[in-house]
């Protein structure tokens, strides 16, 4: 998840989460870690890790990568992953939030859950959990079919500004990272986000079919969803939501080249129940810090092409507050929040 700071955007009414994100360089909150060099690290005994989505989902993949890495590096003796899908992760959140102070329990969270709290009107939020660390992120890609009249993102939004209904954009569900990034771009280009003709699909495969079939004029998804079609030339990558256009895929522009505040990533994180004691929090922080530095986790990052946007402890907690402000602002402009 990286996501750029939102102070300036908020000042002009364009504040949002992210992307749902300006990813900072990988670092940890050493001040909050138990692994200070004076206190020997004690491995976790048993951990139940909740993946708030179905098997095979991004949250599930991240949870199982965490499970394997913790065990491979002997940072935890036993880690079990339990899937609790539903409502953008808020079903799982509602189960974990009341378990204040409970040890041996962690939950994956992220941008979708933060957005789901708002769009689903839940009585619990990420404030009911203890922030441990932001782990990974994935950039967004905006694409058009081969031969499209839109040669860059400026062309696309100029057409949207002139006649919003004339340009249909395929993406994930309402309030998803895809939708949020489109909202951020709309704010930047002076378009009312709720006016954008955004067409939600259940996944990148359906969106790709709609693009190639001429049912929509543009599409947005995580970079991995369109990679094969960009490489084959069936789709043209107009924009990647990274700071620089330096990845393996070819894009006309990077979001940071337009405005660094537009850098955005769909992030995933790990949290504990609220109210845990300071000693347990420090043990979790030390374990995840060591995991992040280990070879097993680095292999997972490479295998899954995840962005390493690691921050932990108090730094992560502070970032969550600014991100939540950003997300709520965009959701409101999209007509998905009061």
> For the CA atoms of the chain, what is the radius of gyration?
20
Assess whether pLDDT exceeds 50 at residue 7: no
Q: Is the pLDDT confidence value at 324 over 90?
A: yes
- Specify if 116 maps to a domain: yes
pLDDT, tens only, 55-89: 888 899 999 999 999 999 999 999 999 999 988 89
Q: With CA atoms as reference, report the closest residue to 137 among 287, 240, 261.
A: 240
133 and 144 assigned to the same domain = no
Q: Which tokens in the block code for residue 306?
A: 């995840």
- The pLDDT score that the predictor gives to residue 337 is 86
Q: Which residue has the higher pLDDT, 206 or 281?
A: 281
- The answer to whether residue 264 scores a pLDDT higher than 60 is yes
Decide if 1 is inside a domain.
no
**Pair 249, 277 in one domain:** no
Q: Give 216-232 pLDDT, tens digit per residue.
A: 999 998 888 888 899 99
Average pLDDT value for the chain: 88
pLDDT confidence tier of residue 203, bands split at 50, 70 and 90: low
Q: What is the mean pLDDT of residues 25-35?
A: 41
- CATH code of the domain covering residue 117: 3.40.190.150
- Measured N-to-C along each axis, helices 58-72 and 278-293 cross at an angle, to the nearest 10 degrees, of 90
Same domain, 268 and 134: yes
Mean pLDDT of 311-317: 98
* Beta-bridge mates of residue 239: 142, 253
Task: Check residue 15 and give its pLDDT.
Answer: 36
284 Cβ neighbours under 8 A, 6+ residues apart: 44, 106, 132, 272, 276
Assess whether pLDDT exceeds 60 at residue 4: no
Say whether both 31 and 153 belong to one domain: no
Determine, yes or no, domain membership for 279. yes
Q: What pLDDT is attached to residue 204?
A: 66
5-16 as b/e: b if 16+ CB within 10 A: bbeebbeeebbb
For the chain, what is the domain count?
2
The runs of H, that is alpha helices, within 234-312 are: 255-258, 278-293, 295-304
Task: Report which of 280, 295, 227 is spatially closest to residue 65, judged by C-alpha positions.
Answer: 295
Q: What's the CA gap between 130 and 123, in Å, rounded? A: 17
């Amino acid at each position: 998840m990286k996501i750029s700071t939102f102070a300036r955007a908020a000042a002009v009414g364009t504040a949002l989460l992210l992307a749902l994100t300006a990813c900072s360089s990988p670092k940890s909150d050493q001040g909050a870690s138990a692994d200070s060099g004076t206190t020997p690290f004690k491995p976790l005994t048993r951990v139940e890790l909740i993946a708030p989505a179905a098997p095979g989902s991004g949250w599930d993949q991240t949870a199982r990568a965490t499970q394997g890495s913790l065990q491979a590096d002997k940072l935890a003796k036993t880690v079990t992953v339990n899937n609790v899908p539903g409502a953008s992760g808020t079903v799982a959140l509602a189960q974990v939030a009341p378990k204040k102070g409970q040890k041996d329990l962690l939950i994956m969270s992220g941008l979708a859950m933060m957005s789901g709290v708002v769009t689903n009107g839940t009585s619990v939020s990420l404030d009911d959990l203890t922030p441990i660390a932001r782990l990974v992120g994935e950039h967004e890609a905006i694409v058009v079919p081969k031969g499209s009249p839109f040669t860059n993102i400026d062309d696309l939004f100029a057409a949207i500004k002139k006649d919003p209904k004339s340009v249909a954009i395929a993406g994930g569900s309402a309030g998803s990272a895809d939708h949020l990034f489109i909202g951020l771009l709309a704010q930047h280009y002076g378009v009312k986000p709720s006016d954008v003709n955004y067409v939600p699909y259940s996944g990148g495969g359906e969106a790709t079919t709609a693009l190639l079939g001429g049912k929509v004029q543009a599409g947005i998804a995580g970079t991995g969803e369109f990679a094969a079609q960009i490489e084959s030339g069936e789709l043209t990558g107009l924009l990647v939501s990274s700071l620089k256009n330096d990845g393996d895929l070819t894009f006309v522009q990077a979001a940071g080249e337009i405005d660094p505040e537009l850098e955005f990533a769909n992030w995933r994180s790990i949290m504990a129940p609220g109210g845990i004691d300071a000693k347990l929090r420090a043990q979790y922080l030390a374990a995840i810090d060591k995991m992040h530095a280990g070879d097993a986790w680095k292999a997972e990052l490479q295998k899954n092409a995840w962005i390493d946007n690691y921050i932990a402890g108090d730094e992560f907690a502070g970032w969550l507050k600014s991100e939540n402000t950003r997300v709520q602002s965009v959701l409101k402009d999209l007509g998905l929040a009061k």
